[in-house]
Structure 1
């Protein structure tokens, strides 16, 4: 991990991009919790000090056309990919844009929201911990909701309705944003066996870079 962090830092330095190594102290509990802990660390250690608008992007989401990130917040305070699960909605922080003004006076928590029942515990994804403090009080219709379309990259064909589930998503699927400016390779960390898929993804990314 340290070697990979060093490589990322070198790329940032070469391209005059600020690099900050994330160093959260809390111990994660359950799936995706390390992601939420890292996002909280970034918000309270960096964003809150700078007080600027910001975006969170997952490690395997790539811009594939020229774009202006600030344009996503021109007419709204929140933008990105809206998830609706277990009776709540929230922005998935892997693709989310925030005006600092909408967060500065609330308790911000990008970890998972948990609603306890007697017999079951519905679990949602990273970022849902802001449900009570932000999303439950916010009009969802005012969010710039950016949709993504899936593509079966392994078989090079449109995604069929019954395929967007289970391990198929990680092993064969990629996504494009509706404005065709973002590409989500999915499972970039290769926690499933996607080496074959990622060879295709690397070729696609090379083509995007060379043609734009």
Structure 2
């Protein structure tokens, strides 16, 4: 059954479930729908045009299906990595976690820099790569740089939706590694985010339960999944979900809106300046997009003109050379 046919089937099943005694279909009541299905956003946020297109029930059905797929993924066994040992190493410590995929050079750069410039106790790499060749290269980079390595189960979203894939990977690590380990604090890093100066990203957690780079979606806000830090004693008992809630406009990490962000003032979250720039001279920003996030350089590898990717990486390497030298000196001391 193709996607269009499946969606029609789902819609018709909803219609049949709400037929009245005469066999004629009627629009479900908002109260009844809210009680029966997990709607991503409040029903009052849908306008009448969206109701006419049946978006609330369709969104609810799709959300339920997505969650079912995610729950199944969470129960899959790891393909490589000693989970009990990693839990023991993480317990009560300050933990960095990076989801890696298909770019061992990028991962190696980050591990070299965090190893010498970023205060932490343990760096875990969750490998979300598709190919075994990429996984082997990532495993070698972790072994060379002293990072813990986990080869995640085959991710059902990787080919279909990179954002959902990333969120599912974070949730697998939360449920199977971090939550059982109970670290003192943990933070998520995008694979192509590089520190360039000595820093302690866990220090702000002395004053707040969590912080990171803010993103907004209308009246909602959330922390960018590429740089966010959490104190375990403040969030460990909450039903965290680092996935997305796309129907509510929330990308990876935004599904924590209800349990973490809704009742907190975003102005109380420590922030750092974010400045976009073109990595290549004479090239438009959108073609060679990079960012300075405070003193961290974000390559933004999935953005821009992919035909310029190699040249962009060369430019990033030149920018990172002083930091790599400083990290090497720090590691030797």
Normalising TM by the smaller chain, what interval?
Answer: 0.7 to 0.9
After TM superposition, the structure 1 = structure 2 runs for residues 90-169 of structure 1, keeping only pairs within 5 Å, are: 90-115=222-247, 123-155=249-281, 168=286
User: Greater relative contact order (Cα 8 A, min sep 6): structure 1 or 2?
Assistant: 1
Q: Which runs of 5+ in 1 are unaligned?
A: 116-121
Indicate which of 300, 310, 322 corresponds to 1:186. 300
Q: Does the aligned pair in 1 maintain the 2:212–2:224 contact within 8 Å? A: yes
Q: Does the aligned pair in 1 maintain the 2:240–2:256 contact within 8 Å? A: yes
Q: Which runs of 5+ in 2 are unaligned?
A: 1-130, 328-333
1:38 is displaced (CA, Å) by 0.5
Q: Secondary structure at the match of 2:311?
A: helix
- Whether 1:44 and 2:159 are equivalent positions in the alignment is no
Q: Distance in 1 between matches of 2:143 and 2:224?
A: 28
Q: Which residue in 2 is equivalent to 1:119? A: none
Q: Does the aligned pair in 1 maintain the 2:194–2:297 contact within 8 Å? A: yes
Q: TM-score, normalised by structure 1?
A: 0.80
User: Number of residues paired by the alignment?
Assistant: 194
Indicate which of 176, 193, 202 corresponds to 2:292. 176
1:211 is displaced (CA, Å) by 4.7
Q: Which residue in 1 is equivalent to 2:202? A: 70
1:190 is displaced (CA, Å) by 8.5
Q: Which has the higher helix share?
A: 2
Q: Which residue in 1 is equivalent to 2:29? A: none
* Bigger mean CA deviation after superposition, 68-77 or 96-105: 68-77
Q: TM-score, normalised by structure 2?
A: 0.53
1:151 is displaced (CA, Å) by 1.7
Q: Distance in 1 between matches of 2:156 and 2:235?
A: 22
- Whether 1:208 and 2:323 are equivalent positions in the alignment is yes
1:71 is displaced (CA, Å) by 1.6
The Cα offsets for residues 78-102 of structure 1, whole Å up to 9 and x where unpaired, read as 1210001132100011111111123
